[in-house]
Amino acid sequence: MNVDYVGIMHVVVLLIVLVSAYLAIKLKNLLSAVLALAVMSLLLSLEFYLLHAPDVAIAEAGIGAGLTTAIYVLAIRATRHLEGGA
Amino acid sequence: MMAMSKIVRTVSNLLYFFILIFGFYIVMHGHLTPGGGFQGGAVLASAIALIIVAHGIEKAKKFYSEFSLTSCESLGLVLFISLAFLGIFMTFFYNFLSPGAQPAIPIFSTEPPLGPNLGNLNTGGVIPLMNIAVGIEVIGGLGAIVYVMFRGGKK
């Protein structure tokens, strides 16, 4: 029997994308939320690569996982690390 | 902000050149392989962000200034628009370096081979030049954003 490995990979990657997106919304520590967002972005670029769009995958990995994470961390440096001013 | 630890600084110094070479590769092979001016410029700007984060703003000021980054952005845009206007004798954005065009200018104007092949870099006419222009513009724009964010808005 032939197993659809690419289909299984799609399901696994998209499930982890969902989990990390939920964590990015729910985490109270802003630095952890930004890291969850970076993980979501990196896995989204993997999903773009699986869907045969390597062009979009390079842009997503460079902008989403690299630069916006750096900019968010720099912005959080100037404020409190917890949501809600605790 | 102070510089980070010695381990981070050494590793980022080593990785800086590899990231730069990969970014220039993506820009230069934009008309053959996935990627192009924007993607390569984003990779190059992430190299700039790596150096700024690892060494702190005081040392990074010796290599990059806001003026040089914003003038990179303007230079890329001027190059792109002037390349588009150079073909105005036929149409706007005319590929005046393509193999059949007259007068023949031997820059990036080889006829691409038919069938599966390794890819000839010396093809594409005006498209590689426009990729380089977009790459310069994206380095300047994204690098200036990271630089100003790291400086914290202060002069």
A18 is in which domain, residue-wise?
Answer: 5-77
Record: contact B49-A63, CB cut-off 8 A: no
d(CA A72, CA A41): 14
CA atoms within 13 A on the CB side of A42: 12
Long-range Cβ contacts of B55-62 (<8 Å, 24+ apart): B55/B3, B55/B4, B55/B9, B55/B12, B56/B1, B56/B2, B56/B3, B56/B4, B57/B1, B57/B150, B57/B151, B59/B3, B60/B147, B60/B150
> Is A41 a member of any domain?
yes
Which residues does chain A have within 8 Å of residue B42's beta carbon, measured at their own beta carbons?
58-59, 62-63, 66-67
Please state the domain count of chain B.
1
d(CA B108, CA A48): 31
Contact B40, B23 (CB under 8 A): yes
d(CA A16, CA A38): 12
d(CA A52, CA B81): 32
Ranges of chain A with pLDDT below 50? 86
- Structure tokens given for B70: 């914003």
Span B6-26, pLDDT tens digits:
999 999 999 999 999 999 999
Comparing CB atoms, the residue among B1, B34, B146 nearest residue A54 is B34
ipTM for the assembly: 0.79
Span B81-110, pLDDT tens digits:
999 998 888 888 888 888 777 777 888 888
> Is A27 a member of any domain?
yes
Q: A11 CB near a chain B CB, below 8 Å?
A: no
Record: contact B46-A58, CB cut-off 8 A: no
Coil, strand or helix: which one is A7?
helix
Which residues does chain A have within 8 Å of residue B60's beta carbon, measured at their own beta carbons?
none
Q: What is the pLDDT of residue B111?
A: 82
Which residues does chain A have within 8 Å of residue B35's beta carbon, measured at their own beta carbons?
54-55, 58
Q: What is the pLDDT of residue B155?
A: 56
Span A61-82, pLDDT tens digits:
889 888 898 888 888 877 877 7
Please state the domain count of chain A.
1
Span B107-132, pLDDT tens digits:
888 888 888 888 888 888 889 999 99
B14 is in which domain, residue-wise?
Answer: 6-113+123-151
d(CA B64, CA B59): 9
This prediction has a pTM of: 0.85
The size of chain A, in residues, is: 86
> Is B1 a member of any domain?
no
Residue B131 Cα to chain centre, angstroms? 7
Give the closest-approach CA distance of B32 to chain A in angstroms.
Answer: 12
> Is B118 a member of any domain?
no
Comparing CB atoms, the residue among B1, B42, B149 nearest residue A71 is B149
Exposure pattern of B58-73 as b/e (b: 16+ CB <10 Å)? Answer: eebeeebeeeebbebb
CA atoms within 13 A on the CB side of A12: 8
Cα distances (Å, whole numbers) of residue B80 to B19, B21, B76, B116: 25, 23, 6, 31
> Is A83 a member of any domain?
no
d(CA A17, CA A20): 5
Span B129-145, pLDDT tens digits:
999 999 999 999 999 99
> Is A82 a member of any domain?
no
pLDDT of B5 > 60? The answer is yes
